[in-house]
Chain A
Amino acid sequence: NAGVTQTPKFQVLKTGQSMTLQCAQDMNHEYMSWYRQDPGMGLRLIHYSVGAGITDQGEVPNGYNVSRSTTEDFPLRLLSAAPSQTSVYFCASSYLGLEETQYFGPGTRLLVL
């Protein structure tokens, strides 16, 4: 199993550009989520999904869109990048259930100039 994969590893954008961060998992997990990690702030939930076709907002959803057309993939879209979106982004997946362990991807480091 590849687990949770994320691409790209690193990206530089200019303000106003758009891009999609890719996330895929091969563990047949129903639950997938996106977090951003900023110094001193820990991980903050952006969006999450409990299954194909179902998404919901987390703590910090503004400026980001998601969709879940398959169980395996959960891309995160930045429509118009801003410097405040400079961060490290982690995708995670798990089976449904409060007690389930989340499995994290290696992260995407994004710099918006």
Chain B
Amino acid sequence: GNSVTQMEGPVTLSEEAFLTINCTYTATGYPSLFWYVQYPGEGLQLLLKATKADDKGSNKGFEATYRKETTSFHLEKGSVQVSDSAVYFCALSDQNTGGFKTIFGAGTRLFVKA
């Protein structure tokens, strides 16, 4: 079945450091890929997405490229800020007999120190 695997956290960085959070997936079809972010005490919200191979999603300085050959969608940011501290979830949406399903990874908690 479909699955999403992302690196375990927590990840602790100093402000202005480079961030990478790895995400790999397995899917039977041609999924869309997403990164969602969850700030403390809140629900998830979309950070970025990519809907086909080689697409790059970007938002708020974060980027991720849909790599079909390596089944990956790694999240990167060149210079993190304290306000980026949150939990990041990689997700995919794929077809199934009932329509489609979105499957989430386990989440990676990021702490950014001033």
Contact = CB atoms under 8 A, between A and B. Distances in A.
Nearest to B6: A42
Q: How large is the interface on A (under 10, 10 to 19, 20 to 34, 35 or more residues)?
A: 20 to 34
B42 A42 contact: no
B87 to A, nearest CB: 9
Interface of B: 31-32, 34, 36, 42-46, 49, 51, 89, 93-95, 98-107
B32 A99 contact: yes
Contacts of A58: 101
Interface of A: 4, 31, 33, 35, 40-45, 48, 50, 56, 58, 90, 92, 96-102, 104-107
A105 B51 contact: no
Most chain B CB within a 10 A radius of its CB, from A33, A40, A41, A104? A104
Main secondary structure of the interface of B (DSSP, over half): strand
Contact of A98 (B43, B100, B104): B100
Nearest to B50: A99
Nearest to A97: B100
Nearest to A104: B43
B49 A98 contact: no
B46 A98 contact: no
B34 to A, nearest CB: 8
A35 B38 CA distance: 14
A33 B95 CA distance: 15
A50 B99 contact: yes
Chain A to chain B: the 6 pairs with minimum beta-carbon distance, closest first: A104-B43, A42-B106, A43-B104, A56-B98, A50-B99, A99-B51
A58 B94 CA distance: 13
A56 B97 CA distance: 10
